[in-house]
Structure 1
Amino acid sequence: MPDRMSEQELNKLINMLELSQADGDIEFDISFMVSDDPDHDHGGRVLVRADKIFIQDPLPGGSPAVIMGVLPVKLYVNGEPVSGPAEVTTGDTIEWEISQPPLYSITVSEDRLLAFFTLHSTKKFSWKLNDHLSAGMVEVDAVMDTENVVGILGLNQIIADFERRGIIQNLNISGIHAELQNPTYQPITAAQGRAAVPGENAHLELFFSETIENEFSEIEGQVDYRSHLRIPSAIRGEVLARKIPVIEGIPGYDVYGEILYPPTPADLSVLAKNNTVLLIGNEIRALREGRPRVTGDRIKYFDICTSYIVPGNVNIKSGNIVFSGDVIIRGDVEDNMIIESLGNVYVAGSIYNSTITATGSILVKGNVVNSNLYSGYFGVMYNRIYNCSKQLIEETKILQTAVRMLVQAVQGRKQSVKYGQAVLLLLESKFQKIPQLIKELLSVLATVQASYHQDLEQTLHFLNLFLKPAQLVDYMSEASLSGVISMLEELHRGVARMQETKVEVNIGKCQNSTLKSNGDIIIHRDGIVQSELFSSGNITFLQTFSVCRGSKLEAGGSIAAFYVGGESGAQSYLKAKQSISVRKMYLGKVTIDRYTADITEPVENLVFDAESLRSMKLSAESGRGLV
C-alpha cells in the first residue's frame, strides 16, 4: 500500500496546481503528478506555464530540480544571476527578465571626433516564456510577441540620450529623424567635432649644398686644385640659409565639446658662429668667402669653414695636422702621420700607414694603405681632443671629490691644509694619470693650425698650471678646479658640435685599412683588399672592374659591389640592413638583417635581400652549394 502524503506536501502541491475558471468550470492542471521519467520519480521538478516558473522539491533520496536560462532569458535565483545550470528548490526565489538588444546604439570614434547612431528597431515588443512540461531539468526560453508592441522609439528619447552622454556638438537631428522615418539600419554620423590643425615645426631653408661632388677634377692629366666650383662655397654677404619660424596650430573640439589642442610645434635654435651673422628676418649671411657649414642637432650652428692647404706631402717635416676647418693636401700622407680636421679632408694623392679623422667628409683620390679613416660621428669619437678632454673631465671630477674628502679629514683633526697643496699631493700619489693626459692634450692643441672654434687661452693657462707645482699650491682653489672642469666640458662639447650630418668617405682603393663613416662610403676606382668598412649609409663601388677581396663590409643601408672574392679563395663578409647586390661573388658570407647565407660556389648577378636568403637556405638542402 503506498505511503500516505503528508499535509505539508499536499499544500505545496495545491499551490503548484494551475487553476483556471471558464464557463463556470474549474480545471486542474496536474502536470506535476504525471512523470515522463519513471526512473526519477523522487527528483525535483520544474514547470513553466503562463510566464511563471514552478518548482517541486525532491522526495527523500531524490535530486533537486535543475534550471537554466536560454538567451535572451536571464534567470536570477535569490537575486543572483545564473549563467549556467543551477539547482533550485521551493525555498528559492526565481525571477527572470529578457536581455534583448537595444533599439539603437551610440558609438564614439577613438579620436572622439565622430559620434554614430545605429538604429536596430523602431518598436519594442513584449516577450513571453515558452511553456515546458514538468521535468527534472528545464531550459527556460522565450519568444517575442510581435503582436504586442510595448514601446515606440521617438526622436526626443534619442536626443535626450545624446545629451545625457554629453554629446552636444553639431548634433545631426535631421539625419537621426530621417533614419527613424526611413530606416537603413546602418551607422549614420550623429555628431561631429573639429580636428585640431597641427602647426608646423621651425625648419631651415638652406641655399647651399651640404655634399661635395667631384671635388678634384683632372685636366690633361693634371689635378686642378684651384677649382672650388664643386666644393660648396659662399661669397661675402651671400645668404646661406633662412630659418622658417614655427607656425602655431589651430585648436579643435570633440563631440563632447572639449577643446582639442594641437601638438606644440618644435622650435629650432640657430647660432651664427665664425664668419657668419644672423640678421633680422632669420637670415644667415656669410661674412667671408669659404665653405659654408651647418652642424649640430638640437641647435644648428653656422660657420664658414676655413681651409688649411698643404702644397705637398704630409710627413715628419710638416708634422701632424690638427685644424679647425677643412684640410686640403695636394700630395700624399706619408707613414705614421695623423690628420685631425673639424671639417672635411681632401687628399689628392694617397695615404700610407696613417690616421685621418674628420667631423665632415674624407675624400681621397688615390690609395689608402694600412690606414684608418674616420668620418662624421666616428671622426668625433676618434678625435684626440675629444677623447683626451673626456678622460680629463672624468679624472678631474674624481680628483675634486678626493680633495674634498682629504680637506674634511684634515679639518676633522682640527688642522688645516691649503687646497692647492691637497691637489698637488693627490696628483703625485693617486692621480698620476692626470698630468699625462694634460701633456697629451696640450701637445694636440699646440698643433692646431688655425683659430680654434673657441677661445683656448684660459683653458691652456689652467692646464699648464697643473704642470707647475709651485704655482698650483698657491693659486688652485675649489672654484678654479670647478672652472677647469667647465672649460674642459666646453672643449669636449665644441668638438662634438662640429659633427656634420651629410658626410661620406670617398676613396680610389684601399688595402689593409679601416674606414668608418656615419654617411656613405664610395670606392670610385679599383676596390678594396683585406680591409674593414663600416657605413651608417650605403657602401658603393662605382667601377665595373672594382673588386672586394678578403674584406669585411657592414652598411646601415645597402651594399652595391661588382667582383667579391676571387679564384685565390680570399673570402669576404658583407652585411647590410636592406640589400646586397653583386655582379659576381666567389666565396664568402652575406647577411641581411638577421638572415645569413654562406657562398661556397660562384654566383653571378644577384641581389640579396631577406626574402632571397630564405630561398637560398632551401636551395642549400638541394645541394646547390649554399648553406
Structure 2
Amino acid sequence: MNASIKAELQRLLAHLESPNLEDGRAELLNGSVVCESGILRVTDPKAGGRHASVVSTAQVRIVVNGQEAVQPAEVRQADRLEVRIFHDKAYELTVADDAMRVYLHVFTENMYERRLADCGPTFFYVPQSELVPLADKATIVAQVRQELQEMEIISPIEEEALQEALHAPFRTAVVVASGKPAKLGRDGYIETMFPHATEQVIADWQRKVDYRNHGLIPSVAGGDTIAIIHRAVPGESGVDLFGREVPPTPVSDVKVGLRRNVRMDDTGRVIALKAGRPSLTGDTVKIFDIQTVHIVEGDVDLTVGNVLFNGDVLIQGDVQEGMRVEATGNITVLGNAFSAVLVSCQHVYIHGHATKSQVYGGRLGLLYSKAYELIGKIMAQYDALEKETNAAHEMAEKKGLHVTIGQIASLLIQNRHPGLHGVIGEFSELIASAGAMIPLEFKLLVRMLRLFGNKELLDRINNWNDVQKIHDYLLLSKVQIENSVFEESDIVLSFANLSQLETNGSLVVTGQGLLNCQVTVNKNCLFKNPDSSIKGGRIVAKGRIHAFEAGTPFGRNTYLEVGESVKLNKAEGVIIKVGDRVVQIPDERHDLYFSLDKQGNLHQEKNRHRERRA
C-alpha cells in the first residue's frame, strides 16, 4: 500500500470515529456500504455527510461504473457496482509437445471456493473473502470439460482418468484425453538361411571341429533358398488431440543386388543357382552371390604357386614362406601362415598362427576407404589451384603478360602446392597395388592425374576447361565409392607374431594373442581366450579393444589406440590413446576401463566385468 492510500485510509477511519451529532442524538450522516450474500448495497449520506468509499484487494476486485477501484473511490446509491473474485486455480491442463496427450494436474490444496464475506454498514469498504471447501468436485469437472472445449480438443475425455485425477496424490499428472497414434510400419529386411561366417567359424573352432571332415561351411546346393527378402510394411496415419492427421514414420525396402549365381522369385526368395558358399556383402545395397570354393589339399608352397582366385579359398595345410594368396571371397587356412601374404575381399580365417605375415581382410573395402581419403585431398588442392590459377591469369592479362593458364598452374604447383604431387603419387601406388580388385575407372583417373606431373603438357593448356574433366572424374569416383560401401570383413586367428593385420571389420583372436604385431581395424579388436595377451606392437581400432592382458615390464611399450573404449584385466608397460587423450601405464594395474564421455572427456572406471571366455 503506497503512502497516499495509507494517509487517506487513516483520515477516513478518524472521521468514522467522530460522528456528527444533532439535538443530542447520535445520527450517522455519512454514506455506507453493506455486503450481504455477496451483494453490495450503497446508502447515500444525509445532511451533508460524506459518500462512502470502496477499494479493490488482490483477491476481490470492485468495479464502479466500469472502472476498477484501484485506489479508494467514492460510491453512490445510483452507481453500478461489480464484484470480481479471483480464485487460485484448482487444476491445470497441459498438452504434450506432440499434441497426442492432454494431462490434468489437480491441485488439492486449492480445492475450495472463495466467497465474499458479509459486512455491516461501513463508511470505507475494504472487501474481505472467505474460503469455503467444495462440497463436491462436480464444479471442477465442469470447468475441465469447458476448458477442453475452448482448447478445441476433439478427442473424447477418458472419464475414469478424469475421476482418477481428482483423487490422485499431490499434483500428479493424469492423461485425460489422447489422440490416436500412428501405427508403426516396418522396414524391409533380409532373413538369411545360412549362419554369419565369422560367428560360425569361431563356434566351430571352440568345439574343435575338424574342417577336413566337416566340409565347406556354410554350403548350399543349387536350388536351395539362401534368403528371403521381406518387403517393407507401411504404417497407418493417426489423429492428434485436435483432429489433425499424424503421418506414420516412413519405411523403406532393403536394396538388394543379385550376382549371376543367384536369382530371386516373385515371393522374395533368393535361390542359389549352383553349389558353393552363400555370400552376402554390401551395406547400402546388399549383394547376394554363391562363391565357388577352391581347395588346396595341403600346403601353399613353390610346388603349388601363388593362389589367385575369384571366390573362396580353403587351404588344408600351411601357407609357406614367400607365398601369396588372394581371393575375392573368404580365405580359410587350416594350418599356419609363415612369412606369407593373404589378401581377401571378405573374411580371413587362420586356424593356427600367423608369423611374419601380412594379412588383409575386406581388402576392397580398405582400398576404397583409403582411395576416398586421397581423392578428397586431391580435390581440395585442385579447387584451391583452380581458384588461384584463374585469379592469377586474369591479373596477367590485365598487365599484358602473354602466358598460358597451364604455365601459371605449373608455377603455382611448384611454389604453393608441392604436396599435390605426393598425394597423386600415393593414390597411384594404391591403385597399382590393388591389381584387378579395383574398377578400371580408377586406373583411368590415375592416367588423367599424370597431367599435373608433366610440365610440358600442362604448359600448353590455354583454358582451364581442358582440366575440368579431371575434377569431374574425381567427383564421379568419389560418388562411386560412397555408393559402394562394403560390409565389414573380419580376421579370425589363434595367434600372430611379428605380423601386419588390417581389415575393415574386426580382429578376433581365439588363442594365445598377439606378439609385436601391427594391427589396424575399422571396428573392434577382441580376445576370446582368458590366457591370451598383447605384448608389444601397435593396435589401432576405431571401435573397442577388449582384452585380458596387455604389455610387459620388459622391452618397448605396447600401444593401444581406440575410438570408443579399452577394457583390460591387467596392463603393464602400456600406452593407451582414446580419441585424442593419452594415458601411460608403466606399472602393473588391474581391471581397467577407459572411454570417452559425450563431451569428449576421458572417463576411467574400474572394470567390474572382467573379460571371460566368450
| Pairwise TM-score range, normalised by the shorter structure | 0.5 to 0.7
Cα gap change, 1:124 to 1:412, in 2 (>3 Å)? same
Paired residue type of 2:185? G
Paired residue type of 1:549? K
Offset of 1:244 from its aligned partner? 2.1
Cα distance in 1 for partners of 2:457, 2:9 equals 116
Q: Does 1:143 align with 2:130?
A: yes
Partner of 2:507 in structure 1? Answer: 521
Cα distance in 1 for partners of 2:545, 2:589 equals 21
Cα distance in 2 for partners of 1:457, 1:615 equals 51
Q: Does 1:153 align with 2:144?
A: no
Partner of 1:43 in structure 2? Answer: none
Q: What TM-score does the superposition give when structure 2 sets the normalisation length?
A: 0.62
Offset of 1:200 from its aligned partner? 1.1
Cα gap change, 1:599 to 1:188, in 2 (>3 Å)? same
| Aligned pairs (5 A) from 1:422-433 | none
Partner deviation per Cα, 1:324-364 (whole Å, 9 max, x = no partner): 866777754757x9988765455553254x88665533334
Partner of 1:42 in structure 2? Answer: none
- Contact 1:215–1:228 at 8 Å: present in 2 too? no
Cα gap change, 1:215 to 1:191, in 2 (>3 Å)? closer
SS at match of 2:366: helix
Partner deviation per Cα, 1:375-420 (whole Å, 9 max, x = no partner): 4599526877556655555566666667766887898799999999
Q: Does 1:126 align with 2:115?
A: yes
Q: What TM-score does the superposition give when structure 1 sets the normalisation length?
A: 0.60
Offset of 1:599 from its aligned partner? 7.3
Partner of 1:266 in structure 2? Answer: 252
Offset of 1:557 from its aligned partner? 4.1
SS at match of 2:286: strand
Aligned residues: 548
Cα gap change, 1:394 to 1:102, in 2 (>3 Å)? closer
Offset of 1:197 from its aligned partner? 0.8
Partner deviation per Cα, 1:25-44 (whole Å, 9 max, x = no partner): 757799xxxxxxxxxxxxxx
Cα gap change, 1:169 to 1:441, in 2 (>3 Å)? closer
SS at match of 2:256: strand
Cα distance in 2 for partners of 1:183, 1:409 equals 79
| Aligned pairs (5 A) from 1:583-594 | 588=574
Paired residue type of 1:265? V
SS at match of 1:153: helix
Partner of 1:195 in structure 2? Answer: 181
Q: Does 1:252 align with 2:238?
A: yes
Cα distance in 2 for partners of 1:228, 1:123 equals 84
Partner of 1:362 in structure 2? Answer: 348
SS at match of 1:255: coil
Paired residue type of 2:507? I
User: Among 534, 537, 544, which residue is 1:548 paired with?
Assistant: 534
Offset of 1:254 from its aligned partner? 2.0
Offset of 1:241 from its aligned partner? 3.5
Partner of 1:59 in structure 2? Answer: none
- Contact 2:185–2:250 at 8 Å: present in 1 too? yes
Cα distance in 1 for partners of 2:176, 2:29 equals 54
Cα gap change, 1:239 to 1:469, in 2 (>3 Å)? farther
| Aligned pairs (5 A) from 1:442-453 | 450=436
Cα gap change, 1:18 to 1:152, in 2 (>3 Å)? farther
| Aligned pairs (5 A) from 1:93-104 | 98-102=85-89
Q: Does 1:506 align with 2:492?
A: yes
- Contact 1:359–1:499 at 8 Å: present in 2 too? no
Paired residue type of 2:236? I
Offset of 1:185 from its aligned partner? 3.9
Partner of 2:599 in structure 1? Answer: none
Offset of 1:509 from its aligned partner? 2.6
* Range with greater deviation from structure 2 (525-534 or 434-443): 434-443
Offset of 1:309 from its aligned partner? 8.4
SS at match of 2:180: coil
| Aligned pairs (5 A) from 1:321-336 | 332=319
In the alignment, structure 1 segments of 5+ residues that lack a partner are 1-7, 31-48, 53-66, 83-87, 134-138, 617-627
Cα distance in 1 for partners of 2:248, 2:132 equals 53
Paired residue type of 1:127? L
- Contact 1:202–1:266 at 8 Å: present in 2 too? yes
Cα distance in 2 for partners of 1:305, 1:128 equals 94
SS at match of 2:183: coil
Cα distance in 2 for partners of 1:551, 1:451 equals 29
What RMSD in Å do the two structures reach over aligned CA positions?
A: 6.6
Offset of 1:301 from its aligned partner? 3.8
Partner deviation per Cα, 1:285-329 (whole Å, 9 max, x = no partner): 5555555444443333445556788997699x979x998866777
- Contact 1:343–1:498 at 8 Å: present in 2 too? no
Paired residue type of 1:508? S
- Contact 1:313–1:334 at 8 Å: present in 2 too? no
Offset of 1:585 from its aligned partner? 5.5
Cα gap change, 1:424 to 1:240, in 2 (>3 Å)? farther
- Contact 1:374–1:382 at 8 Å: present in 2 too? no
In the alignment, structure 2 segments of 5+ residues that lack a partner are 1-7, 41-54, 75-81, 596-602, 608-614
Cα gap change, 1:390 to 1:288, in 2 (>3 Å)? farther
Cα gap change, 1:412 to 1:357, in 2 (>3 Å)? farther
| Aligned pairs (5 A) from 1:465-504 | 481-491=467-477, 500-504=486-490
Cα gap change, 1:29 to 1:274, in 2 (>3 Å)? farther
* Range with greater deviation from structure 2 (510-519 or 402-411): 402-411
User: Among 523, 530, 533, which residue is 2:516 paired with?
Assistant: 530
Partner deviation per Cα, 1:442-494 (whole Å, 9 max, x = no partner): 67656766575566786687678999999999999977755554445555555
State the percentage of identical aligned residues: 19
